[in-house]
A and B are shown apart, each in its own frame.
Chain A
Amino acid sequence: MRPPHSRPPRKAYYGDAHPFRGLGQLAAGRRPTPLMYPARAFLFLVWFALAGCSGIQSSLAPAGDGAHRIAGLFWWMTGGALLVWALMIWLTYSAFRGRASRQSPRLARLYIIGGGALFPTVVLAVLLIHGFRMMPPLLASAPEGSLRIAVSGEQWWWRVRYHPPSGPPVELANEIRLPVGEPVEFELGSPDVIHSFWIPSLGGKMDMIPGRRTRLTLRATRTGTFRGQCAEYCGTSHALMAFPVVVMEAADFARWLEGQRQPAANPAEPLLAEGRDLFLMNGCAACHAIRGTPARGRIGPDLTHVGSRLSLGAGILPNDPEAFVRWIAETSRVKPGVLMPHFGMLPAAELDAVAAYLESLQ
């Protein structure tokens, strides 16, 4: 016998199969009725909208000067839009409620000229002037002597070349590190198609256009790990063209860059040495460079310290030996359309050796 006050067993309904089932019940605390579907849909939308307010790739959780300005604009515009919306709803309501006799032609003219012409003109002028005033600071150059980072968007990865104020440049790939609090000037370009460089947490986006050099200055305001993403459709794997962004203390950054400047260490174990030899023998060096070895290819990403990066394949796989094996053996399955041929024909033991070697490149 069921205990008193318990509910009868719930009947199955089509929402059972839905991944977000139960949201509406949570809110209402009772069995779902047909009326609860809109409530659930609304809660789902709220959840979906709020999910964009935080995280490593959100303009609404700013960690840079540009992103702070852009988020501020977003909130002011959202607030303004809500006010105008509420005003319109109220006007519509009162127009239907009021008696026709009280709606004098004078009042009607005031609504038409004031609400239809003057008010939108003023609102648009304010928004336009505010937007215009924001743009020059967002596009300003970094002061002379700042760190410059040249980033080239290539289908579908990022070539990253650091030009510190002193010392020769360092070419890396698929990850960007920045010193906190310092303006950094990005020089953006592309050899193939138009890409767009966007780190939502740090600032606005900027197109990377073949044959042109565009510039973007970013200044991170707090340390942390963020995510950048290509923001202009650039081919099959556009969505898989991302990169981790690490904002570090200035001293840590200098130390890190100095480490990345060094050539790769010689393999200490036989397995790793075998991996290096296989890497060279199988032609990987035609496209990839590993400084300190005969590998000097320039077509694909530099792999000198690939084991130290936070991700593989431009922000799409974790950096561990299994992911290396997967990337090498099933390249075009992981990233459809990729130029790198897959090496799935290699015996598993050889794949493991190459993966172990690449992982050891710290």
Chain B
Amino acid sequence: MMKSLSENRESLWRLIVSPSVWALHFLASYVTAAIWCAKFAPASGSIAPVRWLIAAYTVAALLAIGWNGWNGYRRHRLGAAELPHDADTPEDRHRFLGFATALLAGLSAIAVIFAAMAVVYFQDCR
């Protein structure tokens, strides 16, 4: 039985899920810290609540990226084909998109961790 392949439907969208999660994580962290420091804390005020919120965003973002990356990895492992997935077949296009999804998930995970590291070292609004 032929497996149904998603090469020309959702897997193209899945490619950009991880970078989008990274962008949302960055935006959410930035906006949270900016609003807290502008409205709720003095210039030298503590950002403790912001740190916990950003920790939560980070866990959520890494879970989403991990799920997306694992998904891509499974598509990359379809059948017994080896890299590079460059044959002109639906299967190889499917594998290629999966592999690219997995690599982008790795990049996005590192970016999310780098962004979150700021609040490990910064304690106040300065």
Contacts and interface: CB of A to CB of B under 8 A. Distances in A.
Contact of B120 (A125, A132, A139): A132
A121 B120 contact: no
A132 B110 contact: no
A128 B126 CA distance: 18
B117 interface: yes
Contact of B114 (A125, A135, A213): A125
Contact of B121 (A121, A133, A141): A133
A8 interface: no
Contacts of B120: 132
Contacts of B117: 128-129, 132
A139 B126 contact: yes
A135 B126 CA distance: 10
Given A121-B110, A139-B126, A215-B126, A132 B118 contact: yes
A136 interface: yes
A125 B43 CA distance: 28
Main SS at interface, chain A: helix
A141 B44 contact: yes
A197 to B, nearest CB: 15
Chain B, interface size category, equals: 10 to 19
Main SS at interface, chain B: helix
Nearest to A212: B43
Contact of A136 (B43, B114, B123): B123
Contact of B43 (A117, A129, A133, A215): A215
A124 interface: yes
Contacts of B106: 117
Interface in A71-126: 117, 121, 124-125
A132 B121 contact: yes
B122 interface: yes
Given A139-B126, A215-B126, A124 B114 contact: yes
Nearest to A138: B126
B121 A136 contact: yes
A111 to B, nearest CB: 15
A136 B122 contact: yes
Nearest to A213: B43
Interface in A114-158: 117, 121, 124-125, 128-129, 132-133, 135-136, 139, 141
Interface string A328-341: 00000000000000
A136 B119 CA distance: 11
Interface string B48-87: 0000000000000000000000000000000000000000
A147 B6 CA distance: 68
B43 A135 contact: no
A110 B126 CA distance: 42
Nearest to A132: B121
Nearest to B126: A139
B112 to A, nearest CB: 13
A13 to B, nearest CB: 53
Given A121-B110, A124-B114, A132 B43 contact: no
A18 B120 CA distance: 54
Contacts of B118: 132
A213 B43 CA distance: 9
Contacts of B43: 213, 215
Contacts of B110: 121
Shortest 9 CB-CB distances between A and B: which pairs? A132-B121, A139-B126, A121-B110, A128-B114, A133-B121, A132-B117, A132-B118, A128-B117, A136-B121
Interface of B: 43-44, 106, 110, 114, 117-118, 120-123, 126
9 contacts: A117-B106, A121-B110, A129-B117, A132-B117, A132-B120, A132-B122, A139-B126, A213-B43, A215-B43
